[in-house]
Amino acid sequence: MQMIVGSELKGPSDGGWMDVLNPATLEVINRVPKANVEDVEQACAISAESQHLWSDLTFDQRKKVLAQIADDIKANMDDIAATITAEVGKPLGEAKHEALACASTFKFFSTLDVEEEVLNDTESVRLSVIHRPIGPCALILPWNFPFALMGWKSAPALLAGNPLVVKPAPTTPLGNMKLGNILADRLPKGIISVVTGADDVGKALVTSKHIRRVSFTGSVETGPKVLEGIAASGLKKVSLELGGNDAAIVAKDFDLSKVASLMWSSFRNAGQVCIAVKRVYVEEPLYEDLVKAYVASMDGIKVGNGAEAGVNMGPLNNLPQLKVVQNMVQDTKDNGGTIKFGGNTLMGQEGFPGYFHEPTVCTDVDESFSVVSNEQFGPIVPIVPVPSIDDALDRVNSSRFGLGGSVWTNDMELARRVSEHMQCGTSWINTHMIVEKNAPFGGVKASGIGRELGRWGFEEFTEPKTIYMKK
Ligand code: ADP
């Protein structure tokens, strides 16, 4: 597949091609160009030159185009979902859900109220705020939800009137290219570029003088490097959605018949979700029973190629991520923790040619273990007993992460207090991982800066302009 530079398809200049693998089979399914710095600069320069073709339209005109894009995504749903499963590894049902989530994000922003806000209107003064475009936006994407997240970023950025230069993750460019082609068909020429390649493409994009706004989703380690790139190349508006180490705090009154919902909050997409439950804290009186019920519920997990019917957990997306999980299993064993369920790499066993790992549960661990205090981003979760809910809350709030967190109890007063005091961007009660288009999403502390979705996400792609009128 070719990349898109200034709405036009383009092969590699001198960087050659890179293969895209199916992580379940390790077969090469396609290839994309390795963009070089000149390709990136060309895309950014065209964005800047073409911006007026889009920003000069009214909000209503742009909203109409967003609604058409939502329809185009739905019309191509089966092909897009098959592509997501093939390059990410997730089960087909989840891939369809991801494609639909992207369509509904475009739909949401096609109906967002963006009226001028009048702050004061007196006999002598009218004070109001309007939202102006920022300029070319660099949208840098990860590999776990590449299609949905391109929607989270592009729909509000486009509504605001900005041109886009998208950078897919190296292992998952194909769905992004498909969405890029849909956008290229609907938007004025030059408003969309999708530049493929390795991490250096992201670096070149962040430091381009044409880029006015960077929206990045990726790892806790790479986020600060993006800020360094920005600091070295002039001020740009930025949002970083980074990793998390979300905790589920389970009270002793938790209804164990709901344990499968808790379990899937860790194992969906093989745990490769920034807002997966990555550690479970449970009040001591319920600990033994919870572990038993939790492990029993894991019989419902069927690992395999996500394209096959009945499979509900696919492989890891790439080898480095499989290694992270393997190292955490080893570290847990070496330090005296217990592997209560799973623990083995499946890759290489019959029927598992790709980056497969068993879903795994660890016990007899605490914050001194890597599996509790670091982000695993894979199918491994620790369950830790705690003397009280407040003790669990202290453990959560002493973490460097702060993306999401949940509390599982029938006591709504307790749940409300804990959810308010958890230092994170989203608190859930009796569920986890649900993201609504009209609510802000993002992290605190090492988990990020800024918010996506809702009117908050839209405003981050605008320059709020104050207009003071002396009458
Ligand atoms: P992972 O470690 O899981 O691959 P990263 O955070 O490194 O996650 O990558 C997320 C996205 O950021 C990818 O598209 C990647 O190519 C890009 N990227 C990596 N390094 C940089 C950088 N220094 N500047 C900008 N983008 C980068």
Q: What percent of the chain has pLDDT over 90?
A: 100
Do 400 and 242 meet the contact criterion of CB atoms below 8 Å apart? no
| pLDDT tier at 461, thresholds 50, 70, 90 | very high
| pLDDT tier at 321, thresholds 50, 70, 90 | very high
How far is the C-alpha of 24 from the C-alpha of 412, rounded, in Å? 42
Tokens 């997240």 found at? 149
Mean of pLDDT values over 27-45: 98
| pLDDT tier at 168, thresholds 50, 70, 90 | very high
- Ligand 1, atom 18, lies closest to the CA of 199
Would residue 453 be called left, alpha or beta, if left means φ above 0 and alpha means ψ between -120 and 50 degrees?
Answer: left
CB-neighbour burial class of residue 350 (10 A; exposed 0-12, middle 13-18, buried 19+): exposed
CA of 273 to the centre of ligand 1 (A): 16
| pLDDT tier at 243, thresholds 50, 70, 90 | very high
86-138 pLDDT tens trace: 999 999 999 999 999 999 999 999 999 999 999 999 999 999 999 999 999 99
Ligand 1, closest atom to CA 167?
A: 14
217 half-sphere exposure, CB direction, 13 A CA radius:
28
Ligand 1, closest atom to CA 141?
A: 14
Q: Of 44, 102, 137, 274, which is the active-site residue?
A: 274
Identify which of 132, 187, 172 has the alpha carbon closest to the alpha carbon of residue 7.
Answer: 187
Q: Which of 222, 230, 318 gets mutated to test ligand 1 (max ligand atoms within 8 A of its CB)?
A: 222
The whole-chain average pLDDT of the chain stands at 98
Do 405 and 396 meet the contact criterion of CB atoms below 8 Å apart? yes
- The fourth-level CATH superfamily of domain 3-242+444-470 is Aldehyde Dehydrogenase; Chain A, domain 1 (3.40.605.10)
Identify which of 460, 466, 465, 467 has the alpha carbon closest to the alpha carbon of residue 109.
Answer: 460
Q: Which residue ranges does the chain devote to CATH 3.40.605.10?
A: 3-242+444-470
Residue 430 backbone phi and psi in degrees, to 5: 60, 25
Residues with CB under 6 A from ligand 1: 140-142, 167, 169-170, 199, 202-203, 206, 218-219, 222, 225-226, 229
Identify which of 261, 236, 235, 230 has the alpha carbon closest to the alpha carbon of residue 248.
Answer: 261
Q: Which of 199, 213, 355, 447 gets mutated to test ligand 1 (max ligand atoms within 8 A of its CB)?
A: 199
| pLDDT tier at 310, thresholds 50, 70, 90 | very high
195-212 pLDDT tens trace: 999 999 999 999 999 999
Would you give the DSSP letter of residue 196? -
Q: Are strands 426-429 and 360-363 parallel, antiparallel or unpaired?
A: unpaired
Do 65 and 109 meet the contact criterion of CB atoms below 8 Å apart? no
CA of 136 to the centre of ligand 1 (A): 19
Amino acid 40: pLDDT: 98
- Ligand 1, atom 19, lies closest to the CA of 199
How far is the C-alpha of 264 from the C-alpha of 248, rounded, in Å? 12
Helix (H, G, I), strand (E, B) or coil at 227: helix
Mean of pLDDT values over 429-453: 98
- Ligand 1, atom 7, lies closest to the CA of 222
State which CATH number among 3.90.180.10, 3.30.565.10, 3.40.309.10, 3.20.20.70 fits the domain covering 247-429: 3.40.309.10
Amino acid 262: pLDDT: 98
Ligand 1, closest atom to CA 222?
A: 6
| pLDDT tier at 143, thresholds 50, 70, 90 | very high
Amino acid 236: pLDDT: 96
Mean of pLDDT values over 36-65: 98
Amino acid 438: pLDDT: 98
Q: What letter represents residue 208's amino acid?
A: S
Amino acid 357: pLDDT: 98
Q: How open is the CA angle 114-115-116, to the nearest 5 degrees?
A: 125
274 labelled catalytic: yes
Amino acid 393: pLDDT: 98
Do 454 and 437 meet the contact criterion of CB atoms below 8 Å apart? yes
424 labelled catalytic: no
How far is the C-alpha of 168 from the C-alpha of 465, rounded, in Å? 31
User: What is the pTM for the complete model shown?
Assistant: 0.97
Q: Of 98, 241, 283, 452, which is the active-site residue?
A: 241
Quote the tokens at residue 123. Answer: 């006999």
| pLDDT tier at 434, thresholds 50, 70, 90 | very high
Q: Which residue ranges does the chain devote to CATH 3.40.309.10?
A: 247-429
- Ligand 1, atom 25, lies closest to the CA of 202
How far is the C-alpha of 91 from the C-alpha of 72, rounded, in Å? 22
Do 433 and 265 meet the contact criterion of CB atoms below 8 Å apart? yes
Amino acid 421: pLDDT: 98
Q: Which residues are bridge partners to 428 per DSSP?
A: 406
CA of 218 to the centre of ligand 1 (A): 6
Amino acid 71: pLDDT: 98
Amino acid 426: pLDDT: 98
Amino acid 51: pLDDT: 98
